[in-house]
Structure 1
Amino acid sequence: MEYILALHIIFIVTWFSGMFYIVRLFIYNTEAGEKEETEKQILRKQFTIMMKRLWYIITLPSAILTLIFGPLVWYTYYNFSLPQWLAIKLVFVFLLYVYFITLHIIFKQQVKGVFKFTSQQLRIWNEISTIFLIAIVMLAVVKQGISVVWGLIGLVLFIVVLMSAVKIYKLLRKN
């Protein structure tokens, strides 16, 4: 039983690592567009190779394996029962997969040379996975010990602090 849980956690960690890093590559690839033509071509070629390797070798397989081991953990430990904390967690997990699909769309666009988002927009988008990580881990670890209301208040406060940090970083980059 513990092996299933361990594998689930391992693939969650590698999946999140891939999601965190792929958006950084999106940002660097986007910013490469501001370089001289020769440098831009070299950078974009290299970033495309890195993105493909990261996506197809680590991130996508980890997302699939997380999706396989998640229900196994759910069955093994909870026999598919659905306590309130787990129902809320599963909503966040579903939204995380929606976010993951948006990353796949951006990935496919950038590989084709289509850049629809600024680096600043991508920096903000990168923080979404952090929000999901915190919400899901808190629900998984604290379980019934967390009040839904206080949990949501804490999450909203965290989002405000996180987005403020992104804005401050933008101001510091300009100077």
Structure 2
Amino acid sequence: MGSKPKKSDIEKSDISHIMYFYIKALHIIFIVTWFAGMFYIVRLFIYNTEAQEKDELEKQILSNQFSIMIKRLWLGITWPSAILTLIFGGWVAYLFGSIPTWLWIKLALVAGLYAYHFTLHKIYKDESKGIFKYTSQQLRIWNEGATVFLFAIVMLVTVKQSMSLLWGMIGLVAFIAILLAAIRIYKTLRK
């Protein structure tokens, strides 16, 4: 006959189960703040780049203000959120146990998202030194990188069991094409 589980084993299991949901909630919260930071930082890069084309007084005033906003957003919100997303995400994965195929794909997308984050950090460092390598149009296109990762990751996590890899890739490519078309249309309308 099998032995009956001890009360302490059941309590540990319940606590672990409850803790999983709290850790997962924190992971999602920091994902949201991290993405918010990545979405807004590129907009600030765009505005700061466009400020360089203004007359000297306006350029100086705008650049000073954008520099403060960029630094506070990047170092005060975006970087801490990226780190906490990684910590709580790793904790969730540990509590989850085994790693199914869809989660490996998500982890690959998350690795790409961190690579994108580091490219934003490079732009942050350059702009803080007064180096503007990209046009505002190039930054507008680069701004959609976070959107593409968000779309891909949320779709994968939400419909993981019912989505084939082929249709997922086709949907992602179609989404990217729509984004690029929208950027092109916006550029035409701005002129």
Per the normalisation by structure 1, the TM-score is 0.97
Letter in 2 for 1:92: L
- Counterpart-to-counterpart distance in 2, 1:15 and 1:46: 22
Question: How many residues are treated as equivalent by the alignment?
Answer: 172
SS at match of 1:113: coil
Identity of aligned residues (%): 67
Aligned to 1:33: 52
Q: Cα deviations across residues 102-126 of structure 1 (Å, max 9, x unaligned)?
A: 0000001001100000000000000
Aligned to 1:69: 88
The answer to whether structure 1 residue 113 and structure 2 residue 134 are counterparts is: no
Aligned to 2:41: 22
The answer to whether structure 1 residue 147 and structure 2 residue 164 are counterparts is: yes
Higher relative contact order (CA 8 A, sep 6+): 1
Aligned to 1:92: 109
Pairwise CA RMSD: 0.6
Q: Which 5+ residue runs of structure 1 have no aligned equivalent?
A: none
- Counterpart-to-counterpart distance in 1, 2:104 and 2:94: 14
- Counterpart-to-counterpart distance in 2, 1:82 and 1:153: 25
Q: Which 5+ residue runs of structure 2 have no aligned equivalent?
A: 1-19
Q: Cα deviations across residues 2-23 of structure 1 (Å, max 9, x unaligned)?
A: 1100000000000000000000
SS at match of 1:145: coil
Aligned to 2:70: 51
- Counterpart-to-counterpart distance in 1, 2:102 and 2:43: 32
Per the normalisation by structure 2, the TM-score is 0.89
Q: Which is greater in Rg? A: 2
Moved over 2 A (4+): none
Aligned to 1:137: 154
